[in-house]
Structure 1
């Protein structure tokens, strides 16, 4: 995998990688001072889709077989269930270990939910239901839009992994050429994990008691996403897992109670059904292959006689 990830890249692509990684860090930090920086960050996340389109093939190998739709769906459902279980453990750990962070985050969710439910009782609003409808659409729509963009943070992750690997290849040339490259991949994953945690504290000033909890919690989440990315070798599956988890989490906090758990249950049911169908399909293919091999063996024996 490391050989494919560190294939030569053009100056244009290198510049794009730097923009979607370091540029994103700068814009995230500036969002604490400027709303325009937030708008530019959103635009950068949208444009990162096209950078991801240039990078996603590097996760595979030339000899990889194309997966069927069922296999891709199984890959997604399995990855989502792994992340759901892992994130549950992380949330429980953080809630018990970083009390200040946990209390701060719960207060943030509570305040945002109150803001969503706020009704000023304006006469125009009450007499014009259409305005109230579109206000709700705007609120929900923006949340879903932001969560969808969050999924594209996986392009950021892959870009950083590639960037770190290219640096390792340049700096540690002898060790790289010796063939022991898994350690470099793990180091790149670790560094992106730490950065992912730090990034979630850049947009606002927080006390260190809260900041440490935030960094550790989101770094652990980032590690899960990174492992899923390397396990599936599929950028878009990881993007989809990230986006859908964030969307259902937002729905669960503000709109539909237990949305994450209900969605995870539905994914589990789909996964079990598809897994069973895939097993049956593979058994049928194996039987057909054995039949063909038996026929070929019989023909060879007959010709030999």
Structure 2
């Protein structure tokens, strides 16, 4: 995989990778002070879709066979269940270890919900908002903005892949002998670990917080990032990982603001679908084996 990821990169693609990684982090930090930086950060995240389209093939192995839609869906449900279980463990650990961070995060969720409602109401005429259609669009605006942010969060997996490629290129230049010896898995794990730490740090760049809260945020989100990175390397499918990330964030948003236990309900549904797909896949494999045995006889 490391050979594919470090295939020759054009100057324009390298510049795009640097903008998506380092440039996005600088803009994220500047959102503390500038609404324009926030807009530019969103623009970079949207543009990362097209960069991901250039990079996603590098994850594929030449030996990989083409998966059927059922197998892809089975892989998605499995990846989502793995992340849900892993994130549950991370959240339990965080609750027990970083009390200050969890209190601050709960307060953030409450404040954000209230601010969103006030912002929507404040931007419209009261007479309009009192009408049924005005109330409808208030809800659409609030939910739509949250879902938009969650989709952009899914595209952070393009950021991760871009960073991993950038780090592997650096490792290849700095440690040429070890690279040529074929012992490259260590570099891949190091890139995954570094991007996970950066993922955690990035969740503290746009706000100023005490270190007791910041450390909790870094550790919690770094572990979440590590789970997404493992899913990326396991599935070798960038877009599947993007969807897992976005869908989890969407269900978490619904759970926080709109529907209690939305994550748990959705995960239960995913589990049922996963079991059904697994049974169907086993039946298909058994039939294929029987046909092959019949032909050989």
TM band (smaller chain): over 0.9
Aligned residue number for residue 195 of structure 2: 192
Q: Trace 1:1-40 onto structure 2 (pairs within 5 A).
A: 1-40=1-40
The 5 A counterparts of 1:212-291 are 212-291=215-294
**Cα pair 2:129 2:138 within 8 Å, conserved:** no
Q: TM-score, normalised by structure 1?
A: 0.94
- For residues 86-165 of structure 1, the aligned pairs below 5 Å read 86-116=86-116, 124-125=127-128, 127-165=130-168
1:95-145 Cα offsets, whole Å, 9 max, x none, are: 11001000000111122233456678x851454222221121111000000
> 1:46-80: per-residue Cα shift (whole Å, max 9, x none)?
11000000000000112211110000000100000
Answering whether residue 47 of structure 2 is matched by residue 47 of structure 1, we say: yes
Number of equivalent positions: 294
CA distance in 1, matches of 2:276, 2:131: 47
- Give 1:167's aligned residue: 170
Q: Please provide the CA RMSD for this pair.
A: 1.4
| Distance verdict in 2 for CA 1:54–1:94, change over 3 Å | same
Higher Rg of the two aligned structures: 1
CA contact (8 A) 2:199 2:221 kept: yes
2:4–2:59 Cα contact (<8 Å) kept: yes
Q: Check conservation: 2:49, 2:155, Cα contact below 8 A.
A: yes
Q: For 2:112 and 2:256, locate their aligned partners in 1 and report how far apart those are by CA, in whole Å.
A: 9
The alpha-carbon deviation at position 224 of structure 1 amounts to 0.2
1:294-305 matches, cutoff 5 A = 294=297
Shift of 1:167: 0.6
Does the 8 Å CA contact 2:117/2:142 hold for their aligned counterparts?
A: no
Q: In the alignment, which of 170, 179, 198 is matched to residue 182 of structure 2? A: 179
Q: Deviations over 1:201-242 (max 9, x none)?
A: 000111101000000000000000000000000001100000
Give me the whole-angstrom Cα distance separating, in 2, the residues matched to 1:126 and 1:30.
34
Q: Secondary structure at the match of 2:64?
A: coil
4+ runs deviating over 4 angstroms: 116-120
State the secondary structure of the residue aligned to 1:203.
coil
CA distance in 2 between counterparts of 1:164 and 1:127 reads: 54
Q: Secondary structure at the match of 1:175?
A: helix
